A and B are shown apart, each in its own frame.
Chain A
Amino acid sequence: MTFLKVDILRKAYASGRSVIEELAFTAEPGEFVAIVGPSGAGKTTLLNLIAGLDRDMDGSIAFHPGQGIQTSPRTSFMFQEPRLMPWLSVQQNLELVLPPRSRAHQVAPLQDLLALVGLPGCGAMFPGQLSGGMKRRVALLRAFIVEPDLLLMDEPFQSLDAPTANQLRLLLQDLWQRTCPTVLFVTHSLREALSLADRILFFSAQPCRVILDLPVDLRHPRSVEDLSVQKLHESLLDQYPQILGGLIAPSPEKNEA
């Protein structure tokens, strides 16, 4: 039972340069998939295509393929920046994404949810009054509050200090285990990918393709400091020294799943 099937033949910029060529992969329901690749590979472009923010491409992106379900899934997107509305309070920012009907009887749980993500009593504050880490917490809660089937994350913890990023990664795993959306998590940090994902897709440089599809068999929740994560990180870089540059040298062992 596949949840998402991506099969992009070609995606080009207006200038005619190819960003993505022959990129194909699938994701299972509730699976946490990390996407690792060199910067500028076209990872953000891919997420925008999957989110439907950009529809200009050759190929197909199908949800529940071959299962006769026509409705498009509920999608959340956590961007590189928190992207909260600065003129709305934290509570109003969260209510904004809820469907109007569920707003009324959501008010009490909203307070509890804020406490759950470590922001008790912050509902009346404006984003400008919050630290970078707190803004990400709000953005993370906003992504989960709509109970998404699919959660797209584009290097969401970049530009945070290491302890804050660690806390947020643990919070993400907690929320993900409670609600089980399919997650596509773009990052350029192999450690971050190893500490979060069930599976890692390694992308080549532009135009991007999948060069390695690696399952990660470790128990959740994990942290980047866990010994098992560190070991896996080392052995992986021993085996594929140039994997982060988008190269799988010397001879490709297995391409795509």
Chain B
Amino acid sequence: MARLYTSAMQDALKPGAQFAQSRWARILPGLVFVCAWQALAIILESKTVPPPSAVLLILWQGIQTGDLLFHLGMTLSRVAISFTAAMLIGVALGILMGGSKTWDRLLDAFLILALNIPALVTIILCYIWFGLTETAAVIAVTVNKIPMVAISLREGARAVDKNLLQVARVYRLSRRDTFFKVYLPQLTPYLFGSARNGLSIIWKIVLVVELLGRSNGIGFQIGSFFHFFDITGILAYTLAFTLVVFGIEALLLRPLETHLNRWRT
């Protein structure tokens, strides 16, 4: 009986597996979602649920007038600067704490503390101490992200293969070669992990920062749409940024990851 059951299961799975391999597996759920949304909007006829077609129209108009591109550019530049700074500092901290028990003990309490301070508190404190400036905005976002990168990289640094470092010592590799060719490649999965969730967290925080104390950027725009109850505008701007994130994932992160992992067979 059991044998019959498993073979029947495998037959049933075959078409499913084929579907999962095809391109449609990525596209179809999105199409279904958009169609359902459009249908719902038509049925409800409510101002608070605009149809996707209206959102796309606003998005297109925003691109044509250049408004959307300007605010998107401002937000993106803030994301880029805080992302780079948070990654560099977080990676350095993580390696330091993962490699040395002394540093780990000294900084551990601060790390837990920093990880649990609400983003809103850091943002408001930065604006009060440094004024409503660009620097304050970027610092607030960076400070929020650093502990998350450090936590993840600390795990990576703890798992580094000491045997390979012995090889580096015996053959007297330069510090540079030891770091870039023996040490860092072992941290690749952790780097990609924190880059991915870093990007998603950072742009959310950047929006709050812009809402509270900047006069441009997507966060600022969404704030003004909120005053006019303009939900179509809010969704159009969100969509614009989501598309950018998809682009970064597909054109930068995934090809880079494939290239760095080509040795895994």
Contacts and interface: CB of A to CB of B under 8 A. Distances in A.
Interface of A: 51-53, 75-77, 79, 81, 83, 85-89, 92, 96-97, 100, 126-129, 142, 146
A14 to B, nearest CB: 14
Contact of B164 (A75, A85, A129): A85
Interface residues of B, number: 19
Contacts of B164: 83, 85
B173 A96 contact: yes
A162 to B, nearest CB: 26
Contacts, number: 52
B19 interface: no
A83 B185 CA distance: 15
A53 B263 contact: no
Contact of A83 (B167, B181, B188, B263): B167
B166 interface: yes
Contacts of A96: 171, 173, 177, 181
18 contacts: A51-B170, A77-B170, A79-B163, A83-B166, A85-B182, A86-B263, A86-B264, A87-B188, A87-B263, A92-B181, A96-B171, A96-B173, A96-B177, A96-B181, A97-B173, A128-B264, A128-B265, A129-B265
B170 A53 contact: yes
A157 B69 CA distance: 63
Contacts of A100: 174
A198 B32 CA distance: 77
Query: Which secondary structure dominates where chain B touches chain A?
Result: helix
Given A52-B169, A77-B166, A128-B264, 9 more contacts: A76-B170, A87-B185, A87-B188, A87-B260, A92-B181, A96-B171, A96-B177, A127-B263, A128-B265
Interface string B175-209: 00100011001001000000000000000000000
A67 B152 CA distance: 52
B185 A85 contact: yes
Nearest to A96: B181
Nearest to B168: A96
Interface of B: 163-164, 166-167, 169-171, 173-174, 177, 181-182, 185, 188, 260, 262-265
Contacts of B263: 86-89, 126-128
Nearest to A72: B172
A87 B262 CA distance: 8
A-B pairs, 10 with minimum CB distance: A97-B171, A126-B263, A77-B170, A87-B185, A87-B263, A128-B265, A83-B167, A51-B170, A53-B166, A86-B263
Nearest to B264: A128
Nearest to A127: B263
Nearest to B186: A87
A106 to B, nearest CB: 15
Contact of B163 (A83, A88, A127): A83
Nearest to A100: B174
Contacts of B166: 53, 77, 79, 83
Contacts of A87: 185, 188, 260, 263
B181 A85 contact: yes
Contacts of A128: 263-265
Given A79-B163, A83-B164, A87-B263, A53 B169 contact: yes
Contacts of A76: 170-171
Contacts of A81: 163
